[in-house]
Structure 1
Amino acid sequence: MSSNEKSYDMVIETRIRPPTYWDHITIALAEFLGTTTLVFLSCMGSCFGIQGAVSSMHTSFTAGLAVAAVIQTFGHISGAHINPAVSLNALVVNQIGWQHLPSYVIPQILGSLSGAALFVSITNSEHLEIQAGGHGICVNGINENITITQGLFVEILLSIILNLANCASWDARNSDKLDSMSLKIGTLVVVLNLGGGAYTGASMNPARSFGPAVWSGDYKNHWIYWVGPVGGSLIASFTYKFVFLKNKSN
């Protein structure tokens, strides 16, 4: 049996057996630390005053490589969802059970707050003020040249692409292609940020948007960064489950 097959068997075993108290603790800690890391590094990479004139290339690669680093570090422990929409995706396609969901989502929200707090604590206040575009540092916002509805659809579409890729990575038929998965998903996040960053900030993740909004007190159009990723996740999840996984063992 190959190492990939062994890993897949371990995933199946973890998914079908009732989670222990220790399972909840380790998942929660991994998701908390992972989300903290993601938000902290993403905010540092978008701090205009410290970084100078930050390009979209800079912020996109920071976000994508932060995701890759977190998956590499915590992927084998919790799957490194670091995103409530991804955890919902995993629930729909039977990667996790309902009993696991709080151990993912609650630590992700808390990690979002802690990551943003760490960023604020190491950054001088003059660099945390509302920027020329009307948004707080590290806070996702809708480009003034598109409508709110267009911004919502951008978040939905980007989230569909991200979550379809997640479904593919969990598919048993793809178990021989799991090498360098952290870099694959990280590169996908880079591409999605390069394409969608100028439109909405390419959040695709309520946890990525929540902490910075709280610490900046900037909630303008914040609902979009919950509705868009969750809506995109559900569309991708049910499409993959009932179209691509139909009549397949999962």
Structure 2
Amino acid sequence: MADGSNQRPIIIKRKKVVAGGGHHGGAWKVAYADFVTAMMAFFMLMWLLNATTEQQRKGIADYFSPTVPISRISGGGDGSFGGDSVFSETTIAQNGTGATNRRPTEGRQALGLQGTDHDAQREIAALEALEDALMGQGGDSMVSELALAHVNSRLTDEGLIIEIFSRPGAPLFDPRTGDPAPWLPGLAAVMAQLFGTVTNAVGIAGHVTSEPIVIASETRWQASITHAQALRRMLETGGLPARRIARLTGHADREPITDDPMEVRNDRIEVILIRSHL
């Protein structure tokens, strides 16, 4: 009995080990992280599409895809390290195509370079320089202060629009005789001189004020055309070649720029230097 009581019982413990930390393991964390990263990239892409211009998006695309289209003519540059994008203005160059010039050279067509973007930039710069010289934005104006008070200019998609308008007590043309204001021929001569610095075609549009119905026997159409024709003759007298005049229109009183169609400010002539590169 003594020998049996000194023997200790043997206890065996069995520990259950669960691999992977649970039913699904840890793989879901990796999948979730990938999902969050993908969503962040998606929302960043949507933000970039909304917050950038077309030109900026092309630059970003060039940065992430700096490949150069290869053709039998030459590489993707326009001259030695010209730095031109492999994208044309409206079409991505693919397989040696993509140029959109009406008559592109074989080399430029293969490169996908149309060149109109550079031409348009040069044209805009020339029109802006002409506007500065006329309005005196970069210094002294070539136009007298009296005439400058009747002139306004703006650069639009159509071209540079120079608006010459009447002021209260100072009309462009005498309402009785139809003679132009004394300063108008001088202004036309300056404009003709400045127009010689560019090659854009010229358009002239006449506008007049409305008349009361009781005295509307004379049509406003003829008056607007008469004013536009008079300015055309002044420009040609000032040295502008007649072939530069591309169009001459009369709009009567159909396009007032004030709420009151009878206001004198609506009596105006618009001279447009029409853009040739858009």
Question: TM-score, normalized by length of structure 2?
Answer: 0.23
Structure having the higher helix fraction is 1
Larger radius of gyration: 2
Structure having the higher strand fraction is 2
